[in-house]
Amino acid sequence: MNPAIWNPLRQYSVPPKCPRKNEHETRSYLAELARVLIPESDFGVLDESSDQYLGLEWIGYKDAYEGQFSTTEQFIDRHRYSLVVLYFSTSGRAWTSNNLWLPGEHHCSWELVVCNDDNRIEELNLSDNGLRGMLPTVLGNLIFLQTAKFASNQIRGNLPTELGRTALVTLRVNSNKLAGAMPSELGHVGRLKTLDAANNTFEIESHSNLDDLQI
């Protein structure tokens, strides 16, 4: 199966929860869920120990939220999934503050998450919060995200290029263990004004589309 072309605004509906049955039916249900929540990925190659797979299982079988998202919130369940994957990929249970994360509440009530009046995620304030691991690519699904603060943690690996899909104005990832090249895709975020990436081991490259930022 080829991954669908990524389109954050397309209409879709999440399949209703179903009880676990045999392995085949479980895989079929999670594959259906994946087509909605991560259409750009190929479910067939997802490792069952991966954070994306664990996130699908949590949304499909453990999420106790019983509210209904309105038609104006057609993106919100994908955003909820992205937060769940972030939690798993950065050792959320060991965070300094993780109040209300992964309960049966609307994710706009989760600590350190800020939403606007339309319940769209605009801020993640996770600096100095004990995050360990890698930032997941599904953060690119948070297309309304304006402020992301991940400074002073133990985040390693590369900065996801998918952050270029967001509406970021401020990105702070300073004082982590990030490496590799600074994604040029960040220069495509027309509103990005502040990028603090100090005290990491990024490769020093010249990016004309990042030159005007406060780095």
CATH number, position 93: 3.80.10.10
Tell whether the model's pLDDT for residue 141 goes beyond 80.
yes
Tell whether the model's pLDDT for residue 155 goes beyond 60.
yes
Cα 38 to Cα 81: distance, rounded to the nearest angstrom: 9
Do the domain assignments include residue 48? no
Tell whether the model's pLDDT for residue 70 goes beyond 50.
no
Segment 8-38, tens digit of pLDDT? 444 444 555 555 556 677 778 888 888 878 8
Specify the pLDDT at position 94.
96
Segment 76-101, tens digit of pLDDT? 678 889 999 999 999 999 999 999 99
Specify the higher pLDDT residue, 75 or 14.
Answer: 75
What region does 16 belong to: left with phi over 0, alpha with psi -120 to 50, or beta?
beta
For the chain, give the mean pLDDT: 82
What is the average per-residue pLDDT within 117-133? 95
Least confident window among 62-71, 74-83, 100-109, 142-151: 62-71
Tell whether the model's pLDDT for residue 4 goes beyond 50.
no
Evaluate whether 199 touches 172 at the Cβ level (below 8 Å): no
Give the model's confidence band at 104: pLDDT under 50 very low, under 70 low, under 90 confident, else very high: confident
Do the domain assignments include residue 57? no
Segment 171-182, tens digit of pLDDT? 999 999 999 988
Do the domain assignments include residue 32? no
What is the average per-residue pLDDT within 35-49? 78
Tell whether the model's pLDDT for residue 60 goes beyond 60.
yes
Kind of pairing, strands 113-115 and 121-125? antiparallel
What is the average per-residue pLDDT within 144-168? 95
Do the domain assignments include residue 24? no
Look at the block and give the residue holding tokens 């990491």.
200
Do the domain assignments include residue 29? no
Do the domain assignments include residue 58? no
**Residue 152 belongs to what domain range?**
63-210
Number of domains composing the chain: 1
Give the model's confidence band at 45: pLDDT under 50 very low, under 70 low, under 90 confident, else very high: confident
Give which of 48, 35, 51 is closest to 2, Cα–Cα. 35
Do the domain assignments include residue 46? no
The CA distances from residue 15 to 28, 33, 53, 55, 56, in Å, are 11, 6, 16, 15, 12
Do the domain assignments include residue 34? no
